[in-house]
């Protein structure tokens, strides 16, 4: 067994992060480029270094098929210059749901990926809000600089003005978007000139130029970059860790430009796992016996519920497969014989893991997002998962009234698991609860599980609301009198007022300034 010092050292070399972005910004491209770059480094010198782009992709697809688990549910682990990088995926597109937010409870840092032509986009903003609320520091990567986009300074202003995040650029582009010659490295004033490698899939070729060489070769674009750079803020560790500033890089994931820099920045600046506060706010030391937080539970849509995989972020100690740990919520033992590093280096069962690592536990029927697992002798319980502001609403009814009991039981269970939030209103009665979710995919999951797991097929009717605000029982009457507004009570006792959109909300607010209509900030 490793010594205690071993756990601290292992934690220190880990970086656990997620990419937050809007669909199409280039998250898949960047993920692949990061993993590939790290692998190229790791395999440099290997005799048969077949480190092609195809390799990484096909490895993932094989695993995806063999396991029947979507890659979007996974964590990817790779080594880079002696560090262990854990990259957690944040499902987007149609998969955007509470799971996407929950992933952010398991990371120590986030990379905010922006499309240089679009800047901040809606999904990025939502994820950024969760990061801010949780105190997750954010590194910004401005992608697609190889093609026309916004001005670099305009993008920086956008961050500062729209979300109050002050950028401290680490590099600065030489040449406007679309005419990318390279970057000014603000650390030492050199220029890193890029030449795209043939085929695009390999590392960009980099040349390092002294300032006077850069000026001779690139002229005005270099001079402009130097002038602009002089106006920018410098990196500052404490404001970065406090979420007030963001180190920022320009690049082009598709051409592998800026990818090495991003990996280096992650290693240099992103925090390694820190002692996690328990429910009383007391930090659990990293070298304390094993503890972990379940941040996501994936029930295969077409499988029996026994095949549920719980993703656990290791918070302290050394995790060993085969050990029996305690499930804090029930006090019951949980055997970890089938621990998997779902997309880990060894791509199979995982034997040991350290703080910051992610393991997938199969047969995890009893585990729910927010649950703690701990060493049998050293109990701890971490704060559970918050409920997030729902944006999709549907009335749910049992399809066959003779299954009313199974229906009630199923809804209660899915509510407890955090699959959906369950609201009730006097108007609709107990037999027709309103289900509320971040992403509409949750309704499909609900319908599928209600039928297959609880034997109670349901009928779902989508409601035209897209926004919920916290209100008070005494405000119900006034709100119910408004058309297109509905008030319902959530299982946790919160009263929510539902609105079709923000314009409807503001018109009600204007007419009734004294009503409580508080935003449901993620994490509240
Ligand atoms: P995701 O939806 O965020 O995962 O985005 P993808 O990685 O699938 O990329 C969306 C599209 O943008 C694809 O066609 C990519 O080839 C393209 N793309 C990604 N990165 C870059 C880049 O740096 N430059 C350019 N020009 N295109 C890019």
Position 13 in a domain: no
User: Does pLDDT of 3 surpass 80?
Assistant: no
Position 99 in a domain: yes
| Residue 319: both structure tokens together | 């995790």
Query: For residue 77, what pLDDT is reported?
Result: 84
Q: Which atom of ligand 1 is nearest to the CA of 31?
A: 7
Range of the domain at 367: 277-374
Cα of 111 to ligand 1 centre, how many Å? 16
Cα of 25 to ligand 1 centre, how many Å? 6
Query: For residue 341, what pLDDT is reported?
Result: 59
CATH number of the CATH domain containing 407: 3.30.70.3280
Q: Is 281 exposed, middle or buried (0-12, 13-18, 19+ CB in 10 A)?
A: exposed
Cα of 342 to ligand 1 centre, how many Å? 25
Residue 420 in contact with ligand 1 by CB distance below 6 A: no
Mean pLDDT over 395-400 rounds to 96
CATH number of the CATH domain containing 133: 3.40.50.300
- Three-class SS of residue 77? strand
Q: How many CB atoms lie within 10 A of CB 65?
A: 9
Residue 24 in contact with ligand 1 by CB distance below 6 A: yes
CA distance linking residue 242 with residue 481, whole number of Å: 44
Provide the ipTM: 0.99
State whether 491 and 511 are in the same domain.
Answer: yes
User: Does pLDDT of 463 surpass 80?
Assistant: yes
Query: For residue 11, what pLDDT is reported?
Result: 97
How many domains are contained in the chain? 3
State whether 223 and 288 are in the same domain.
Answer: no
Residue 484 in contact with ligand 1 by CB distance below 6 A: no
Position 3 in a domain: no
State whether 266 and 120 are in the same domain.
Answer: yes
State whether 134 and 252 are in the same domain.
Answer: yes
Of 272, 307, 337, which closes a domain?
A: 272
Query: For residue 519, what pLDDT is reported?
Result: 87
Q: Is 328 exposed, middle or buried (0-12, 13-18, 19+ CB in 10 A)?
A: buried
Residue 53 in contact with ligand 1 by CB distance below 6 A: no
CA distance linking residue 357 with residue 4, whole number of Å: 17
**Residue 6 Cα distances to 165, 201, 318, 345, 509, angstroms:** 37, 37, 9, 20, 57
State whether 40 and 87 are in the same domain.
Answer: yes
Cα of 62 to ligand 1 centre, how many Å? 23
Position 51 in a domain: no
Residue 59, marked binder:
no
User: Does pLDDT of 63 surpass 50?
Assistant: no
Residue pair 137/17 in contact (Cβ under 8 Å)? The answer is no
State whether 71 and 29 are in the same domain.
Answer: yes
Cα-trace Rg, the chain: 25
Residue 124, marked binder:
no
Query: For residue 5, what pLDDT is reported?
Result: 57
Position 8 in a domain: no
Candidates 167, 171, 146; CA nearest to 155 is 167
**18, 23, 26, 123: which to mutate for ligand 1, most atoms within 8 A of CB?**
26
Burial 247-274 (b: 16+ CB within 10 A, else e): bbbbbbbbbbbbbbbbbebbbebbebbe
Residue 92, marked binder:
yes
Q: Which residues pair with 171 in a beta bridge?
A: 185
State whether 105 and 228 are in the same domain.
Answer: yes
Position 10 in a domain: no
Q: Which of 156-170, 231-245, 336-350 has the lowest mean pLDDT?
A: 336-350
Of 272, 293, 325, which closes a domain?
A: 272
Residue 31 in contact with ligand 1 by CB distance below 6 A: no
Query: For residue 197, what pLDDT is reported?
Result: 60
**74, 254, 261: which to mutate for ligand 1, most atoms within 8 A of CB?**
254
183-213 pLDDT, tens digit per residue, is: 999 999 999 998 766 654 445 678 899 999 9
Residue 22 in contact with ligand 1 by CB distance below 6 A: no
Residue 321 in contact with ligand 1 by CB distance below 6 A: no
Residue 151 in contact with ligand 1 by CB distance below 6 A: no
> How does residue 40 score in pLDDT terms, banded at 50, 70 and 90?
low
Position 16 in a domain: no
Q: Which atom of ligand 1 is nearest to the CA of 32?
A: 7
Cα of 223 to ligand 1 centre, how many Å? 30
- Between 273 and 336, name the one with better pLDDT: 273
Rounded mean pLDDT of the chain? 86
């Amino acid at each position: 067994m490793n010594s205690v010092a071993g756990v601290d050292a292992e934690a220190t070399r880990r970086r656990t992060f997620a990419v937050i972005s809007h669909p199409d910004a280039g998250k898949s491209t960047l993920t692949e480029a990061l993993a590939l770059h790290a692998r190229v480094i790791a395999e440099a010198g290997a005799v048969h270094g077949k480190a092609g782009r195809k390799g990484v992709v096909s490895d993932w697809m094989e695993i995806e098929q063999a396991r029947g688990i979507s890659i979007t549910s996974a964590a990817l682990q790779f080594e880079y210059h002696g560090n262990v990088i854990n990259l957690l995926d944040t499902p987007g597109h149609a998969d955007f749901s509470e799971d996407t937010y929950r992933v952010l409870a398991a990371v120590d840092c986030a990379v905010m990926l922006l499309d240089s032509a679009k800047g901040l986009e809606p999904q990025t903003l939502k994820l950024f809000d969760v990061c801010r609320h949780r105190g997750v520091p954010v590194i910004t990567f401005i992608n697609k600089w190889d093609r026309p986009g916004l001005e670099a300074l305009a993008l920086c202003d956008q961050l500062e003005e729209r979300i109050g995040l002050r950028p401290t650029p680490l590099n600065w582009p030489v040449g406007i978007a679309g005419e990318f010659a390279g970057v000014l490295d603000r650390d030492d004033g050199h220029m890193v000139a890029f030449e795209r490698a043939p085929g695009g899939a390999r590392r960009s070729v980099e040349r390092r130029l002294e300032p006077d060489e850069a000026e001779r070769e690139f002229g005005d674009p270099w001079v402009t970059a130097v002038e602009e750079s002089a106006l920018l803020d410098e990196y500052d560790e404490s404001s970065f860790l406090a979420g007030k500033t963001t180190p920022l890089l320009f690049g082009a994931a598709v051409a592998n430009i800026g990818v090495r820099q991003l990996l280096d920045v992650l290693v240099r600046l992103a925090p390694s796992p820190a002692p996690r506060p328990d429910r009383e706010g007391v930090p659990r030391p990293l070298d304390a016996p094993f503890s972990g937080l379940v941040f996501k539970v994936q029930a295969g849509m077409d499988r029996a519920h026994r095949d549920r995989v719980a993703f656990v972020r290791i918070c302290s100690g050394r995790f060993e497969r085969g050990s029996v740990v305690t499930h804090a919520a029930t006090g019951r033992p949980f055997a970890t014989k089938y621990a998997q590093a779902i997309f880990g280096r060894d791509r199979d069962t995982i034997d040991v893991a350290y703080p910051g690592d992610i393991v997938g536990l199969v047969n995890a029927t009893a585990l729910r997002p927010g649950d703690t697992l701990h060493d049998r002798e050293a109990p701890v319980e971490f704060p559970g998962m918050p409920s997030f502001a729902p944006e999709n609403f549907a009335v749910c009814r049992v399809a066959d009234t003779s299954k009313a009991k199974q229906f009630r039981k199923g809804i209660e269970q899915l509510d407890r698991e955090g699959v959906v939030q369950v609201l009730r209103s006097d108007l609709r009665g107990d037999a027709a609860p309103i289900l509320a979710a971040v992403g509409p995919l949750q309704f499909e999951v609900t319908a599928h599980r209600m039928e297959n797991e609880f034997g109670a097929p349901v009928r779902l009717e989508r409601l035209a609301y897209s926004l919920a605000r916290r209100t008070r029982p005494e405000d119900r009457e006034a709100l119910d009198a408004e058309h297109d507004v509905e008030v319902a009570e959530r299982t946790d006792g919160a009263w929510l007022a539902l609105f079709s959109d923000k314009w409807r909300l503001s018109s009600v607010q204007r007419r009734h300034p004294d009503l409580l209509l508080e935003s449901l900030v993620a994490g509240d």
